[in-house]
Amino acid sequence: MSVGRFINCAAIKAAYVSAFRQTFHGAAISAVRYKSTTPQSEDQLGMKIIGGPRSFINKLEFLEPKLEDAIPIYRVYDTEGKILDGTQDPKLSEDVLHQMYHSMIMLNTMDEVMYSAQRQGRISFYMTNYGEEASHIGSAAALDKRDLVFGQYREAGVLVWRGFTLDEFMDQCYANVNDPAAGKQMPVHYGSRDLNFVTISSPLATQMPQASGAAYALKRTHPGLCVICYFGEGAASEGDAHAAFNFAATLDAPCLFFCRNNGYAISTPAHEQYRGDGIAARGSGYGMITIRIDGNDVLAVYNATKKARQIAIEESRPVLIEAMTYRVGHHSTSDDSTAYRAKEEIEEWTSGDNPINRFKFYLINERQCWDEERDKALAAECKKQVLKAFTAAEKRKKPSPSLLFTDVYDDLPPNLVKQRQEMVDHLGKYSKHYPLDDHEPV
């Protein structure tokens, strides 16, 4: 993925979309018109039938996407954390900045511990968020905590920010009795009603049209709130992504579509996922206001999400944000990414454009509100807390086998009552062949 130009002081209403709007209207005014009809009535006809004014050209010209037209990337600080345009620094309070940094470190620490736990066979599966910490925390911090989140699976930082506890993370990964879903899902499929974070589902992009619908409903019942929908650049290829954009746009739903473009979908590089200028370029096709941002710049993510939220709510329309970042970790614990990408590539991103380091440089050099000593203390404290939660989660029992039948419906229908009884009778006869000791009683 070659990340292109950067803009540092964009009026956040994305450069691209406002340009699009200008030419759209401009063309209608300046185009050489087909003489005999009255422009007025023709435009009205156009508005009515195709949803916009029509203009004509008399030379045969196809539109060719041009590299120069690539949407630039909004960035607030550089890879050394140096502010590029003072007007763009949101000047967040030290408290908020520390909280953001703390969340990033906590997420990173949890990933390290859980990744090794999986390698040791203590949990069945895990997915790290390495390299994408800024896009999680920057966007989450810009939202109202009542805004509803529809995630993909690599957005644990959003939960960290909202206050999902380490115990809650670990209990889900360990599929123990404290997991609200009774260990029914694989690890990392978190959800929290209290934190307005809809439970993760593995089939990709399914959350996207749901987010549009939820935004539509929220607009009616909870004006002033919006929905944020996270998705990968790979998931954006699904038909559901198209449906989501088109529905949100045509039905004026206040939904923030936040694409984490991290360069890969498992082994498939982004350039095999689409031709054209990435995900952001699709925005205008749907009539959506759009911006592309540096996903490793937590302040750029924060500014963009904050403004996008305001637009979505005030103007009642969806906004598309494409955050350019890099998936530093393997896709999951089932993957070995050295089979399809160069180690140098990973190293370049890890050391050259590390979202945590960049933020830290900003805190130290631009804000003078952080230092090495505090950094070490924070790292140690995070590690301690994570290990504590981890040990506790590991000790807890697994859920009762009877819970296999709950939550299929609101109540157990007769077939499930019967089947549960069959299971109970069976376990009565064959108990020694099942890992019943690990579980709560049947």
Partner 1 sequence: MATHNLTRVVTGLAKKNLPACLLKRTSINSFVVTKRHATHFKFYPDPPPIDCGPTEKMNLFQSLTSAMDISLSSDPTTLVFGEDVAFGGVFRCTVDLKEKYGQDRVFNTPLCEQGIAGFAIGAAVAGSTVVAEMQFADYIFPAFDQIVNEAAKYRYRSGGLFECGKLTIRSPCGVVGHGGLYHSQTPEAHFAHAAGLKIVIPRSPIQAKGLLLACVRDDNPCLFFEPKILYRAAEEDVPVGDYTLPLGKAEVVRLGHDVTMIGYGTQVHVLKEVAEMAHDELGISCEVIDLVTITPWDEEAVCKSAAKTGRVIVSHESSLTGGFAAEIASTIQKECFLNLEAPVERVCGYDTPFPHILEPYFIPDKWRCFEAVKNVTNY
Residues in contact with ligand TPP by CB under 6 A are 154, 202-204, 232-235, 260, 262, 264-266, 327, 331
For ligand TPP, which is the closer residue by CB, 256 or 389?
256
Question: Nearest to residue 322, comparing CAs of 342, 305, 339?
Answer: 305
Least distance CB 12 / ligand TPP (angstroms): 25
Residues 75, 324 contacting (CB under 8 angstroms): no
Q: Which does 315 bind (CB under 5 to 8 A by kind): partner 1, Mg ion, ligand TPP, none?
A: none
For ligand TPP, which is the closer residue by CB, 235 or 301?
235
| DSSP SS3 for 123 | coil
SS3 sequence of the chain: CCCCCEECCCCCCCHHHHHHHHHHHHHHHHCCCCCCCCHHHHHHHHHHHHCCCCCCCCCCCCCCCCHHHCCCEECCECCCCCECCHHHCCCCCHHHHHHHHHHHHHHHHHHHHHHHHHHCCCCCCCCCCCCCHHHHHHHHHHCCCCCEEECCCCCHHHHHHHCCCHHHHHHHHCCCCCCCCCCCCCCCCCCECCCCEECCCCCCCCHHHHHHHHHHHHHHHCCCCCEEEEEECCHHHCHHHHHHHHHHHHCCCCEEEEEEECCEECCEEHHHCCCCCCCCCHHHHCCCEEEEEECCCHHHHHHHHHHHHHHHHHHCCCEEEEEECCCCCCCCCCCCHHHCCCHHHHHHHHHHCCHHHHHHHHHHHHCCCCCHHHHHHHHHHHHHHHHHHHHHHHHCCECCHHHHHCCCCCCCCHHHHHHHHHHHHHHHHHHHHCCHHHECCC
Q: Which stretch binds partner 1 (CB under 8 A): 55-63, 139-147, 217-225, 352-360?
A: 352-360
For partner 1, which is the closer residue by CB, 9 or 408?
408
Q: Which does 437 bind (CB under 5 to 8 A by kind): partner 1, Mg ion, ligand TPP, none?
A: none
Q: Helix %, strand %, coil % for the chain, to 5?
A: 50, 10, 40
Least distance CB 370 / partner 1 (angstroms): 10
For partner 1, which is the closer residue by CB, 5 or 222?
5
Q: Which of 138, 191, 234, 283 binds partner 1 (CB under 8 A)?
A: 234
Q: Is 98 in the site for partner 1 (CB under 8 A)?
A: no
Q: Which of 333, 386, 389, 390 binds partner 1 (CB under 8 A)?
A: 333
Q: Which of 9, 347, 377, 387 binds partner 1 (CB under 8 A)?
A: 347
Question: How many of the chain's residues bind partner 1 (CB under 8 A)?
Answer: 89
**Site residues for Mg ion, window 254-313 (CB under 5 A)?**
262, 265
Q: Is 145 in the site for partner 1 (CB under 8 A)?
A: no
Any bridge partners for residue 291, and if so which? 321
Q: Which stretch binds partner 1 (CB under 8 A): 163-171, 285-293, 297-305, 427-435?
A: 427-435
Question: Nearest to residue 73, comparing CAs of 139, 8, 140?
Answer: 8
For partner 1, which is the closer residue by CB, 27 or 423?
423
- Which position has the token pair 């209608």? 28
Least distance CB 431 / ligand TPP (angstroms): 36
Task: Tell me the C-alpha distance between 391 and 369, whole Å.
Answer: 33
For Mg ion, which is the closer residue by CB, 153 or 390?
153
- Which position has the token pair 């941002």? 293
For ligand TPP, which is the closer residue by CB, 154 or 307?
154
Q: Would you give the binding string for partner 1 spanning residues 155-194, x where CB under 8 A is met?
A: --------------------x------xxxxx--x-----
For Mg ion, which is the closer residue by CB, 154 or 307?
154
Least distance CB 210 / Mg ion (angstroms): 20
For Mg ion, which is the closer residue by CB, 55 or 152?
152
For Mg ion, which is the closer residue by CB, 129 or 262?
262
**Site residues for Mg ion, window 218-257 (CB under 5 A)?**
232-234
Q: Which does 154 bind (CB under 5 to 8 A by kind): ligand TPP, Mg ion, partner 1, none?
A: ligand TPP
Least distance CB 356 / partner 1 (angstroms): 6
Least distance CB 440 / partner 1 (angstroms): 11
Q: Which stretch binds partner 1 (CB under 8 A): 13-21, 84-92, 254-262, 344-352?
A: 344-352
Give the residues lining the site for Mg ion (CB under 5 A).
232-234, 262, 265
